[in-house]
């Protein structure tokens, strides 16, 4: 029996992020999420198709001897021809481009993506009709023989993922045929190993191979593709999770998260409960029983920290971006299955303090890690000489802002993230349009901060939603109430107050909609979030936004963390167009300024501060 999710996602083409917020004069503010997506689109178009395909052409051996495999300067970093991961980024490029095209109809990007798909199909034919990858088959044979090689499954997975997304979002049958051809190679190769032999092979980093085969089986229904799902099962990890053990502590985090995503997808296409139990057990082990930094992210030096033991792991290599992206995808899956608001809270926390914080707000480049050691700086990559794994997840992450905002539920629509956007559903005379934007009385929701009275920054985060139905339409509109709200929630429809019970996690209105305005006010206050194993050290969070203190060393504060408003006060609260999110320390021996972590570019900063009670 197929699972019936509590929520279903909107198709990408039904949710848009407008470049502006639809008002004139000072309220027409830029959309920060669209701006970040725009940086990704510009970056994707800046990379030549020939350069992206260089490793694939080199592997197929179809270039003239003595000449480079493709014109133009070769890429460096992980995409250099000498790297065993060469070619991994092309799959991310295809996935990101395909989703942008599906969302916006971008004709130029479509042409580039379809050209790349066609070239890959041609190279596959040159390779005999199956192998379509940028690395040689011998890498997998070396891995099977126990010889050292760097993550060949991870690398080939990216190509398969990109091709499947080209089929899913561009409608490219050629892309699907290319994946089916590659699956024949893997079905034949894996058929030569026992279960124990496969387990040995899969102890190397497999990337999202299980998810790819589940996706492919969901499309084709081919028993050979179902064989691949079972062959890429991970009993050495999954059985320990099901037994209630902790197989994650000090284990490479992003090796296992894609495997959990594969289990989730296997459940969705087969309906077998074991896959769901694995997915839920993984979340308990990785999040519920482990905790996370104030940012919402996890991992240090790319491995899972011990449960609730973070103080010794605050370094320059905390919070790998890939873990942020993939754990957000897992949270989205569990949100769809259960409808539980806690998963949407987790998404929101990582959206601001991971996805936004680990992309340079002006250049669009990625930061592999988000340092949490006091006095550290973000290390940004370059356009053509880095290509870390996190470059790939970064370009994909910013194409999914529209994916997390809205979901259908039985009898209505749920708004789960407050991202300026427009959702449409229905067709013809039955079409309904729902638009959300920051409330013009408050200004941009990223900048709204503490309540200083009528003349100061508002003490709530507010959003305005308009519903326009071509014909009157009855449905329920459900609005998530975040866990961080600090007081009674205010909800009005066309100016009329609607009750939201204290403690409710959803504010709901069921009515016949036609041309209506909904206003939601979410009060928020400054909070001090302690390290679990060092309660005297706290981070400051305002709503979902973590604040960074601009300093080049650990700084001790004096005061009461239970009353953080006595430690920090608003600073530079206003520009001509919006409220800003800056703060300053109060009553300290030296000045200290705080800004939202996602706004930090080149500055040294700290997130956690030891606090000594004032005598």
Burial 556-567 (b: 16+ CB within 10 A, else e): ebbbebeebeeb
- pLDDT at site 64: 76
Residue range 517-521: mean pLDDT, rounded? 96
Residue 328 three-state SS = helix
Is the pLDDT score of 387 beyond 90? yes
CA neighbor of 544 nearest in space, from 567, 525, 563:
525
pLDDT band at 2 (very low <50, low <70, confident <90, very high): very low
Q: Are 421 and 405 in contact (CB under 8 A)?
A: yes
Give the model confidence (pLDDT) of 242-259 as tens digits.
999 999 999 999 999 999
Q: Are 290 and 359 in contact (CB under 8 A)?
A: no
CA neighbor of 159 nearest in space, from 104, 89, 220:
89
- pLDDT at site 19: 60
Is the pLDDT score of 300 beyond 60? yes
Question: What residue ranges do the domains of the chain occupy?
Answer: 53-231, 234-293, 407-523, 526-612
Question: What φ, ψ does residue 179 adopt, rounded to 5°?
Answer: -65, -45
Is the pLDDT score of 451 beyond 80? no
pLDDT band at 488 (very low <50, low <70, confident <90, very high): very high
Give the model confidence (pLDDT) of 166-194 as tens digits.
999 999 999 999 999 999 999 999 999 99
Give the model confidence (pLDDT) of 311-356 as tens digits.
999 999 999 999 999 999 999 999 999 999 999 999 999 999 999 9
pLDDT band at 386 (very low <50, low <70, confident <90, very high): very high
pLDDT band at 576 (very low <50, low <70, confident <90, very high): low
pLDDT band at 459 (very low <50, low <70, confident <90, very high): confident
Q: How far is CA 538 from the centre of its chain?
A: 25
Q: Which run of H or E residues covers position 435?
A: strand 432-438
For the chain, what is the largest distance between any 2 Cα atoms, rounded to a whole number of angstroms? 78
Give the model confidence (pLDDT) of 36-62 as tens digits.
999 999 999 999 999 999 999 999 988
Give the model confidence (pLDDT) of 119-148 as tens digits.
999 999 999 999 999 999 999 999 999 999
Residue range 449-472: mean pLDDT, rounded? 76
Q: Please work out, in degrees rounded to the nearest 5, the angle formed at the alpha carbon of residue 297 by the alpha carbons of 295 and 300.
A: 115
- pLDDT at site 440: 61
Q: Is the dihedral of CA 139, 141, 143, 148 positive or negative?
A: negative
Is the pLDDT score of 446 beyond 60? no
For residue 605, the cross-strand partners are: 376
Residue range 494-509: mean pLDDT, rounded? 94
d(C-alpha 448, C-alpha 581), whole Å? 6
Please give the mean pLDDT across all residues of the chain.
Answer: 92
DSSP state of 168: H
Q: Are 504 and 469 in contact (CB under 8 A)?
A: no
- pLDDT at site 28: 36
Give the model confidence (pLDDT) of 352-377 as tens digits.
999 999 999 999 999 999 999 999 99
Q: Are 441 and 45 in contact (CB under 8 A)?
A: no
407-523 topology per CATH: Maltose phosphorylase, domain 3 (2.60.420)
- pLDDT at site 26: 29
d(C-alpha 437, C-alpha 22), whole Å? 8
pLDDT band at 474 (very low <50, low <70, confident <90, very high): very high
Distance separating the N- and C-terminal Cα atoms of the chain: 64
| Share above pLDDT 90 across residues of the chain, in percent, rounded to a whole number | 86
The number of C-alpha atoms within 13 Å of 14 and in the hemisphere containing its C-beta is 20
d(C-alpha 379, C-alpha 361), whole Å? 13
Residue range 570-586: mean pLDDT, rounded? 80
The residue among 576 and 95 whose pLDDT is bigger is: 95
C-alpha distance from residue 284 to each of 5, 266, 281, 345, 425 (Å): 20, 19, 5, 16, 35
Backbone conformation region of residue 334, classed left if phi is above 0, alpha if psi is from -120 to 50, else beta: alpha
- pLDDT at site 70: 77
- pLDDT at site 448: 40
pLDDT band at 491 (very low <50, low <70, confident <90, very high): very high
Q: Following DSSP, what letter does each residue of 184-217 receive, concatenated?
A: HHHHHHHTTS-HHHHHHHHTS--TTHHHHHHHHH
| Tokens encoding 370 | 């988000």
d(C-alpha 345, C-alpha 349), whole Å? 6
C-alpha distance from residue 332 to each of 7, 23, 142, 339, 448 (Å): 10, 31, 36, 10, 26
d(C-alpha 391, C-alpha 389), whole Å? 5
- pLDDT at site 452: 42
Q: Specify the range with the lowest mean pLDDT, choosing from 231-240, 277-286, 579-588.
A: 579-588
d(C-alpha 441, C-alpha 431), whole Å? 29
């Amino acid at each position: 029996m197929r699972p019936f999710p509590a929520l279903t996602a909107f198709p990408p083409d039904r949710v848009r992020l407008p470049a502006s917020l639809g008002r004139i004069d000072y309220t027409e503010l830029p959309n920060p999420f669209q701006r970040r997506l725009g940086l990704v689109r510009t970056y994707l178009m800046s990379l030549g198709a020939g350069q992206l395909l260089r490793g694939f052409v080199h592997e197929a051996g179809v270039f003239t001897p003595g000449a480079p495999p493709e014109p133009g300067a070769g890429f460096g970093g992980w995409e250099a021809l000498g790297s065993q991961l060469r070619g991994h980024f092309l799959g991310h490029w295809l996935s990101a481009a395909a989703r942008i095209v599906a969302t916006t109809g971008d004709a130029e990007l479509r042409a580039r993506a379809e050209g790349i798909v066609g070239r890959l199909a041609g190279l596959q034919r040159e390779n005999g009709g199956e192998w379509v990858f940028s690395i040689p088959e011998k890498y997998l044979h070396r891995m099977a023989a126990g010889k050292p090689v760097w993550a060949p499954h991870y690398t080939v997975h990216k190509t398969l993922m990109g091709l499947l997304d080209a089929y899913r979002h561009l409608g490219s049958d050629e892309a699907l045929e290319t994946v089916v051809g590659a699956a024949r190679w893997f079905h034949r190769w894996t058929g030569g190993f026992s279960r124990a032999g496969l387990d040995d092979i899969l102890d190397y980093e497999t990337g999202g191979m299980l998810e790819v085969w589940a996706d492919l089986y969901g499309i084709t229904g081919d028993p050979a593709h179902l064989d691949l799902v079972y062959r890429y099962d991970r009993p050495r990890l999954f059985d320990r999770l099901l037994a209630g053990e902790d197989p994650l502590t000090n284990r490479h985090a992003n090796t296992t998260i894609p495997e959990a995503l594969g289990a989730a997808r296997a459940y969705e296409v087969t309906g077998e409960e074991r896959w769901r139990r694995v997915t839920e057990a993984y979340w308990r082990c990785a999040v519920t029983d482990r905790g996370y930094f104030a940012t919402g992210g996890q991992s240090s030096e790319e491995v899972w920290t011990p449960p609730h033991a973070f103080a010794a792991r605050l370094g320059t290599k905390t919070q790998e971006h890939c873990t942020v992206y993939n754990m957000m995808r897992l949270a989205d899956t569990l949100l769809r299955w259960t409808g539980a608001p806690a998963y949407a809270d987790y998404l929101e926390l990582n959206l601001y303090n991971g996805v936004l914080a680990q992309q340079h707000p002006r250049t669009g480049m990625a930061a592999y890690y988000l340092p949490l050691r006091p006095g550290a700086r973000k290390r940004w990559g370059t356009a053509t000489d880095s290509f870390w794994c996190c470059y790939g997840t970064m370009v994909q992450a910013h194409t999914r802002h529209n994916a997390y905002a809205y979901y259908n539920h039985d009898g209505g629509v749920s708004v789960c993230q407050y991202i300026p956007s427009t959702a449409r559903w229905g067709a013809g005379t039955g079409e309904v349009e729902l638009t959300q934007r920051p409330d013009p009385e408050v200004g941009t929701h990223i900048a709204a901060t503490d309540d200083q009275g009528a003349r100061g920054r508002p003490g709530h985060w507010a959003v305005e939603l308009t519903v326009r139905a071509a014909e009157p339409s009855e449905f329920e509109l459900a609005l998530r109430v975040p866990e961080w709200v600090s007081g009674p929630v205010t909800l009005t429809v066309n100016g009329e107050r609607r009750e939201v019970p204290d403690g409710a996690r959803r504010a709901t209105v069921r009515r016949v909609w036609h041309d209506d305005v909904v206003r939601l006010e979410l009060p928020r206050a400054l909070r001090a979030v302690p390290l679990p194993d060092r309660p005297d050290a706290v981070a400051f969070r305002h709503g979902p936004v973590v604040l960074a203190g601009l300093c080049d060393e650990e700084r001790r504060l004096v005061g009461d963390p239970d009353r953080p408003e006595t430690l920090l006060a608003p600073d530079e609260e206003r520009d001509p167009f919006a409220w800003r999110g800056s703060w300053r320390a109060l009553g300290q021996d030296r000045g200290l300024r705080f800004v939202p972590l996602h706004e930090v570019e080149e500055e040294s900063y700290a997130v956690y501060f030891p606090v000594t009670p004032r005598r």
